[in-house]
Structure 1
Amino acid sequence: MAQHSSTCSCAEDVARSFARHAEHNEDMVLYQTSLMSGLIDGVYEGDVTIKELLEHGDFGLGTFNQLDGELIAFDSNVHHLKEDGSAHVARPEQKTPFACMTFFKPTIERDLDEPMTNKDVEALVNELVGSDNLFCAVRIDGDFEYVRTRTVPRQEPPYKPMLQAIAQQPMFEFDDRTGIMVGFRSPEYVQGMNVAGYHIHFITDDRDGGGHVVEYRLKRGRLQMGIISKMFVDLPRTQAFKKAHLTPEDLDKAIKEAEG
């Protein structure tokens, strides 16, 4: 009997240890609704609401139906960055045609104590990740000398392809502001499905503005990163998506022009 009790206790200890390990080492999963190639072809209507999006993550980015500005999410809060450069809390019933979300669990953190450009930060992230084949979620809280952004303008049907829709997109510059950058570094092999390379959105600490990041210079800040090992893609069931041309010959060039 004593031996049986000891074995039971050992098994329980192993189970508890495994549960603690799983709790602190759970894989980060990237949830994505639709494809970037769908946006490029003009698929600007989706059925996933902001409320539903938050069931799949507390951190991410994307856009809103009708290509109405930029979406930024962190700490389970979602903001709508509009074409006039302003920022507003997103409503739960708003919908998105394309977004990427994850539950952010940073495993790498660094204080950035010296001025750095976006290229400097990207090089550091690449070094810390150690592989071009992995997804990475990136958050920077910092003081910025400047941040240059752009925001896609709301479209009306019949929808034009994205490169035509953003031909006159507004640009903004935020000087000497504190804020948060949220985004992902994605491998080259997902170009078209997602955006290869860096895709980053910005919002000011006072939540009055932001947009899709074009370039920046950081004075000082805090970098947090999490490696993503799983990806789930939720494809739309709309007629527009079913009829979209998702593999054009110039897809790579189009995405670089649209998101660069």
Structure 2
Amino acid sequence: MPADRTASTHPLYLCAPVNALVEGLYEENIPFTEVKRHGDFGLGTFDDLDGEMVMLGGRIYQITADGEASEVSEGLHTPFAVVTFFEPTFSTAFDEAMAYETFLKHLESLLPSPNLFYAIRVTGRFSHVKARSVAKQHNYRPLDEAAHEQHTFDFEDAEGCLAGFFTPAFMASLNVPGLHLHFLTSDRRRGGHLLSCRPETVIVEIQVIHALELSLPMTHDYLTRDFSRDTSAALEEAEK
């Protein structure tokens, strides 16, 4: 790895493995006061899968099923969140419009290795962003079923921020493998889980992370659940 791309001293923190979410455990009741002890940047969801979560600068935003975003109290709870203290290792500019597939290739080409974690923030102007959110769900409903009822939103000529992570493929039972990004407009009023985008002029900031901190829930549901099922196909379906 180049000397100017050495890994951050801050670990990636998971308050629960993503497999629990895939299996429909939406009420782990993990307080955001605990999550914020481990980071000021990240993404996730809320108890009962009640919207998408984005954390920027220590502020928590909830994006509900109508695509509307608002800052919420750290007193709320989550079944799944991924955070770190964001200190970019390096940054670069993408200063021309590009298709989503080209954007993904350019983004992944910046990553020194597919076997590390990366926190990623992309800020600037997008000619188009397609995002989604899911309505509040009942506990135990599998995530891929809930995702079939997702609400999608199209943002045209939007300024905003993509926030999220790259996770190695071999960590798929713990976190969403590959790129996982949420979008929030610059006025912090709209957003969602990213489905596609066309960036025009953006700044890409990347933090190389080589350490993982994982907490395991202590709820009865989690402790008694059988997690032996291969959930990779279900997770891929839910993330589309």
In structure 1, C-alpha distance between the alignment counterparts of 2:8 and 2:20, rounded to whole Å: 31
SS in structure 1 of the partner of residue 11 of structure 2: strand
Question: How much does 1:169 deviate?
Answer: 1.1
Whole-Å separation in 2 of the counterparts to 1:135 and 1:247 = 24
Residue 7 of structure 2 contacts residue 207 of structure 2 at CA under 8 Å; is this kept in 1? no
**Map of 1:12 onto structure 2:** none
Runs of 4+ in 1 over 3 A off after TM superposition: none
Kindly report the root-mean-square deviation, in angstroms, between the aligned alpha carbons of the 2 structures: 1.5
Letter in structure 2 aligned against 1:226 = Q
Identity percentage of aligned residues: 34
| Contact map agreement 2:14 2:213 (CA 8 A) in 1 | yes
Question: Which residue, 204, 216, 232 being the options, matches 2:197?
Answer: 216
Q: What pairs with 1:56-205 in structure 2 (closer than 5 Å)?
A: 56-157=38-139, 159-205=140-186
What is the total number of aligned residue pairs between the two structures? 235
Contact 1:50/1:90 (CA < 8 Å) preserved in 2? Answer: no
Aligned twin of 1:246: 227
Query: Which residue of structure 2 lines up, in the alignment, with residue 28 of structure 1?
Result: 10
TM-score, L = length of structure 1: 0.86
- In structure 2, relative to structure 1, the CA distance for the partners of 1:25 and 1:231 (3 Å cut) is closer
1:41: which partner in 2? 23
Structure 2 Cα separation of the partners of residues 94 and 254 of structure 1: 27
* Aligned AA (1:154): K
Query: How far has the Cα of 1:131 moved from its partner?
Result: 1.2
Q: Distance in 1 between matches of 2:108 and 2:190?
A: 28
Change (3 A) 1:26 1:166: closer
Q: TM-score, normalization: structure 2?
A: 0.93
Are the aligned partners of 1:43 and 1:244 in contact in 2 as well (CA < 8 Å)? no
CA shift, 1:248, in A, is: 1.3
Secondary structure of residue in 1 paired with 2:223: helix
The yes-or-no answer on 1:226 pairing with 2:213 is no
Moved more, 167-176 or 118-127: 118-127
Contact 2:119 2:166 in 1 (8 A): yes
Q: Contact 1:31 / 1:233 at 8 angstroms: preserved in 2?
A: yes
Cα distance in 2 between the residues matched to 1:25 and 1:217: 29
In our comparison, the structure showing a higher alpha carbon Rg is 1
Asked if the contact 1:32/1:98 (under 8 Å) is kept, the reply is: yes
Output one character per residue of 1:93-126: Cα deviation in whole Å (capped at 9) or x when no partner.
1000000000011011011111123332332232
Gaps of 5+ in 2: 1-5
Structure 1 portions without partners, runs of 5+: 1-23
**Amino acid across the alignment from 1:34:** A
Aligned-partner residue type, residue 245 of structure 1: D
**Structure 1 counterpart of 2:32:** 50
- Is the CA contact 1:37–1:247 (under 8 Å) kept in the aligned structure 2? no
**Other-structure match for 1:18:** none
Distance in 1 between the 2:134 and 2:94 partners? 30
